Amino acid sequence: MPRDGRRQNSIIFAEIKQMGIVDPSLADAFSKIVGAANVVTEAEPLQRYAHDETEELVFLPDIVLKPRTAAEISAIMRLCNEHRIPVTPRGAGTGLSGGALPHLGGVVISTERMNSILEIDERNGQVMTEPGVITEVLQDAVKEKGLFYPPDPSSRGSCFIGGNIAENSGGPKAVKYGVVKDYVLNLELVLPTGDIIWTGANVLKNSTGYNLTQLVVGSEGTLGIVTKIVLRLIPLPRLDRLLLAPFRSLEKAGEAVAAIFRAGFTPSGLELVEVDALRITARYLDSTLPVPEDIEAQLIIEVDGNDPEVLMKDIEAIAVLLSDLGAGEDMLLAEDAAQKAELWKVRRRVAEAVKAAGYTIEEDTVVPRAALPALIRGVKELGKQYGFQAVCYGHAGDGNLHIRIKKAGSTNSQDDPLIVESLRALFRLVKELGGTISGEHGIGLVQKGYLDIVFTDVQLELMRGIKAVFDPNGILNAGKIFDKTNQ
């Protein structure tokens, strides 16, 4: 079986197999750069780096290197560029699109040893960090200083900040505070040629030339390897209020999302979870979260700030609004920190739970939030037309709806023709609604066969041209986003 598919709309997944494209003599050269203890060549430990959270994609690299500095990565890249060896940068391996998988074999550069927070600059509200720091560790460190780094992907307890940069991650807080790109000021970047650059400046405003920083954010490790990150921080909100609102109609829940904003509120979290996903997750976690029998969805609404009276007034007004829009009478206002934590635990582990229940295909669609009801309705109609079951959940406040599907009679793998046909129909709907196919998970290997739905040939050629300027020999994370060029 080939290592990667050449069909237009799918990736064919392979069993673990060594490519053998790294000359064994180069292992000594790599050892001199990073130290022998930081070179992995044995098959069993290599398997740790052969997969991510997509799980069914498994590709064994020839060698894994664990550098500690930008200078070491620079030396590695110069050597790989000279010998035309594919290089795959890797963080914690929590990605959902196959972006960190070495599907061409070659070298994996793991940033796991680059795990220091270098400076928290309280006066300027900034932090400088290395890419291998766990996102939640960074958030907790700045929180101790009364500062706040809002992007909070569900995997924040295990994902690396460098991976968040690569994917332009979001999370529930994005609805009020924005995504990763809104906090990145400057990046130290090792180019595929081995050159080391800074992409910007540690300032809040910068209109000097092309914005290389924003170009790199979300580029999925295809343009360079990030070795230092400067993030802006904001004051930490001291208080929050959390409301759970059940709806008997999934579409009505979707309609309520836009209505909250039209009424003048800006929640710090606004999540939608379809009831099937809620029940699956509650059972999976043995949670005490109440899930009424006669509902189709629940909204989780959070407001934050520093004035308890204002927050209570806002959450009560939102509850009245939702009641008028069809929410059930049994809305729940979280009373204490433990109850809030339980609600968020259930929400953050929905993907894990529904995956365990057989919904193995997850899509990361995003539409204008007013189009959510049409997307939800369309998903259900497509399910009937193409014979798949779907559960919906996600960051409804910014229109980012995660859709998990399973289809009887199929293998429920990304390259199954029945799944591909269903997903192409789904993505055409998303495009018609003014949306796109990934809000925060990236394209990687899994989604690149669908880019023709949302981009023209001209747009794709522009992107390939940018890639070629940064990476003339096409060695860095080749074959991600679009097929490998410059071979």
Q: Select from 10, 94, 13, 16 the least CA-distant residue to 52.
A: 94
Q: What percent of the chain clears pLDDT 90, i.e. is strictly above it?
A: 88
Single-letter residue type at 221: G
Q: What is the pLDDT of residues 194-242, one digit of tens each?
A: 999 999 999 999 999 999 999 999 999 999 999 999 999 999 999 999 9
**CATH of region 358-454:** 3.30.70.2740
Residue 252, pLDDT > 60, answer yes
| pLDDT (average), residues 284-302 | 92
CATH class of 117-235: alpha beta
Tokens 């010998």 belong to which residue? 83
Q: Give the rounded distance of the alpha carbon of 64 from its chain centre.
A: 23
Rg (CA), the chain: 23
At 189, the pLDDT band (50, 70, 90 cuts) reads: very high
Query: Do 239-351 and 117-235 fall under one CATH topology?
Result: no
Between 131 and 293, residue with greater pLDDT: 131
Of 8-22, 207-221, 283-297, 383-397, the one with minimum mean pLDDT is: 8-22
Indicate whether 485 pLDDT > 60: no
Inform me whether the pLDDT recorded for 17 exceeds 60: no
Distance CA 132, CA 91 (A): 6
- What DSSP designation does 482 have? S
* Cα–Cα distance, 273 to 255 (Å, whole number): 14
Query: 365-418, pLDDT tens digit by residue?
Result: 999 999 999 999 999 999 999 999 999 999 999 999 999 999 888 888 888 898
Q: Looking at the domain 239-351, which fold is it?
A: Alpha-Beta Plaits (3.30.70)
Going from N- to C-terminal start, the domains of the chain cover 117-235, 239-351, 358-454
**Mean pLDDT for the stretch of residues 343-351:** 94
pTM of the model: 0.93
> Would you give the DSSP letter of residue 448?
G
Distance CA 169, CA 166 (A): 8
Q: Exposed (0-12), middle (13-18) or buried (19+): which is 198, by Cβ within 10 Å?
A: middle
Confidence of residue 139 (pLDDT cuts 50, 70, 90): very high
Position 4 pLDDT exceeds 90: no
